Structure 1
């Protein structure tokens, strides 16, 4: 029996239309459906859509034209033919994901642990945007300290398990945007003393699901170009002119700290 064939359509880069863009929600759903595919629940294709000039078929879908969206090309799920199913809101996509019954992708509706960890980082993206606007780091630091404490107490490779869960799919785009954009615009860095956050990032950076889904630094920087008051990147700091890179390194000070802890 053929697996359900799912297409996840994500926003294309505003710099290079051929590559995936920086949309955090697109990154989240790319990872979630990659996990479903990796575990044999579905076959997966990920395609990019240029929002300003979408292809004809996309305009004819009869949807809200919001991205990301998820489409089913073929297949049955729980005995029901879902060919041509289209989900184009976060709630619809989440409900569709739940129907696969993947234990690693339980939502807060099904898992108290999932709900508890989502509460830990619930304000991170809001506070990160506040940091870009004002330069105030206090709120972001508070969330990261709480996250570090949670990871220390949990003792797993990722947020809830030694495998990726839905919580990781939600947190990682936010953390990567914080790391890249806050450094570029506000010279902010996650403290090396938050060794459990850094160890978590190192574990995530080594996974195929993250490596295949993460946007490049330049697209993340471009994403916030108009959201930082008084900042007009020029010359070598213009994201349109930057060399394509992806930040996956760990600061030496942080790496030394958790390497030493492991040795002990």
Structure 2
């Protein structure tokens, strides 16, 4: 299952801690290094290089891992319930950011509630068990975008009543595979600001409740395509007590 291009988290990072040693390198596609341009031209990550062989597409990367990496097949489990539950989550976030109305926000909360219900019923650390799989590599980046971009642009928050979902996020935040590849809050926010530049008539401005210095629309649309970050921040806090209800500490 390939990740949408809007999601920054690279599914391959999970293999850094679960399978054989893997070096993960992030690339700024606006300023790719010379050797990247030479070898891959305009190809977008993720790219897997195994013994000099470059595999460039998500589906081909998955097939290669399943066939060539010891234990790799365990990551690509089949679970129709999970697959159908997470596939439209990101599109609901996009609708919330574009429409900015309570109806779309309610639909996103309801979708998150169904995921919370599944996690509560299963009682596992991750979506399909107590070890990560491909579905977790898709869901958690979406949740992080919902936390950061949803809060910044429309003051959307994941309800604290979704305790199973928050416990799930807690476990994901403990993994180096996620924390070392998760983009900074500013990068996620800047991603959606760049989308407003490419979509005519679409203006995403922070909600007043965030107490940020807001730019006029005409100035916001002239923003640079990349914001230099002095102090990147990462939202990884958990608003509930998971110590008693967590399966692992």
What TM-score does the superposition give when structure 1 sets the normalisation length?
0.72
Contact 1:121 1:171 in 2 (8 A): yes
Counterpart Cα distance in 2 of 1:23 and 1:247: 18
1:53 Cα shift?
A: 3.5
Unpaired segments of 5 or more residues in structure 1?
1-21, 75-83
Match of 1:102 among 47, 60, 72: 72
SS in 1 for 2:87: coil
> What is the total number of aligned residue pairs between the two structures?
217
Partner in structure 2 of residue 29 of structure 1 = 11
Contact 2:98 2:204 in 1 (8 A): no
Unpaired segments of 5 or more residues in structure 2?
197-201, 216-226
Counterpart Cα distance in 2 of 1:172 and 1:166: 10
Counterpart Cα distance in 2 of 1:62 and 1:122: 29
Match of 1:67 among 45, 49, 68: 45
User: 1:35-93: CA deviations, max 9, x gaps?
Assistant: xxx24x43211223232343333233256522221112x2xxxxxxxxx2212222112
Moved more, 176-185 or 133-142: 133-142
When residues 214 and 55 of structure 1 are mapped into structure 2, their CA distance, relative to the original with a 3 A threshold, is closer
Q: Does 1:119 align with 2:84?
A: yes
Counterpart Cα distance in 2 of 1:171 and 1:187: 21
CA RMSD of aligned residues (A): 2.7
Higher relative strand content:
1
When residues 51 and 211 of structure 1 are mapped into structure 2, their CA distance, relative to the original with a 3 A threshold, is closer
Moved more, 202-211 or 224-233: 224-233
Q: Does 1:91 align with 2:59?
A: yes
When residues 55 and 159 of structure 1 are mapped into structure 2, their CA distance, relative to the original with a 3 A threshold, is same
When residues 242 and 133 of structure 1 are mapped into structure 2, their CA distance, relative to the original with a 3 A threshold, is farther
Partner in structure 1 of residue 142 of structure 2 = 174
User: 1:77-116: CA deviations, max 9, x gaps?
Assistant: xxxxxxx221222211222222224354124xxx2x2x32
Q: Does 1:44 align with 2:12?
A: no
Contact 1:151 1:197 in 2 (8 A): yes
